[in-house]
Chains A and B, each alone.
Chain A
Amino acid sequence: KAGVTQTPRYLIKTRGQQVTLSCSPISGHRSVSWYQQTPGQGLQFLFEYFSETQRNKGNFPGRFSGRQFSNSRSEMNVSTLELGDSALYLCASSLASSTDTQYFGPGTRLTVL
């Protein structure tokens, strides 16, 4: 079974631009979560999508948004990029509930200049 994939793997953007990241979950997984990983803050939860609906949301500003498609693939968008948005963005997929094992993707490394 193919693992979680994320595209692109690396991105360089400038302040004020917007960016869209993509995540393809493991086949059959309906839950996709997004995390921001930085050296000082660790992994911070952005949001979770399940069956095309946002089921949970972390404490990030409205510039961070996401969506999920009927095939469970998910995208997250960051508008008006700031220097502090530079991070590794990880998505994770699971079957459905929080006690199903989450499988992480390789991440997208975003650098904002």
Chain B
Amino acid sequence: GENVEQHPSTLSVQEGDSAVIKCTYSDSASNYFPWYKQELGKRPQLIIDIRSNVGEKKDQRIAVTLNKTAKHFSLHITETQPEDSAVYFCAASIQFTGNQFYFGTGTSLTVIP
């Protein structure tokens, strides 16, 4: 089955700096990659996603890049703010086969004011 690895497990940045979280996947059939943000004590929420026919997607301060050949994708957060502090999870799935998502183990991001 699919194996998703996520790095780093913890990340601290100064407010205003950029943060990058990287994930690799093993199954070349995976073609949909969402990212979730989970604040302490709250449920995960989708923040951005990318399909395998796209190399990059941006939404304001958040962007995701995908390299299908290398089987890795990354989350980029620019101009970080304290409210960005949370645990971020990447995931991979195969479209059109239902909702079977393989998640990374999460990155705890701390933005230092």
A contact residues vs B (CB 8 Å cutoff) = 31, 33, 35, 40-45, 48, 50, 55-56, 58-59, 90, 92, 94, 97-99, 101-102, 104-107
Is the interface on chain B under 10, 10 to 19, 20 to 34, or 35 or more residues? Answer: 20 to 34
Question: Does B68 touch A at the CB level, under 8 Å?
Answer: no
B23 CB, nearest partner CB in chain A, Å: 12
- Interface SS of B by simple majority: loop
Contact of B95 with A42 in the complex, beta carbons under 8 Å: no
Contact of B99 with A59 in the complex, beta carbons under 8 Å: no
A-B contact pairs, 16 of them (CB 8 A): A31-B99, A35-B103, A42-B89, A43-B101, A45-B100, A45-B101, A45-B102, A50-B99, A97-B95, A97-B98, A98-B93, A98-B97, A99-B32, A99-B49, A102-B46, A106-B42
Give A48 to B102 CA distance when docked, in angstroms.
13
- B36, B42, B89, B94: the one contacting A98 at CB < 8 Å is B94
Q: What's the A-B contact tally at a CB cutoff of 8 Å?
A: 72
B92 CB, nearest partner CB in chain A, Å: 10
Give A92 to B100 CA distance when docked, in angstroms.
11
Give A45 to B101 CA distance when docked, in angstroms.
7
Give A101 to B43 CA distance when docked, in angstroms.
14
Question: With A43-B103, A98-B93 given, is the CB distance from A90 to B98 under 8 Å?
Answer: no
Top 8 closest pairs, chain A to chain B, by CB? A56-B100, A42-B105, A55-B98, A104-B43, A43-B103, A48-B99, A56-B98, A98-B93
A14 CB, nearest partner CB in chain B, Å: 26
Given A48-B98, A105-B43, 4 more A-B residue pairs with CB atoms under 8 Å apart are A33-B100, A56-B97, A106-B42, A106-B43
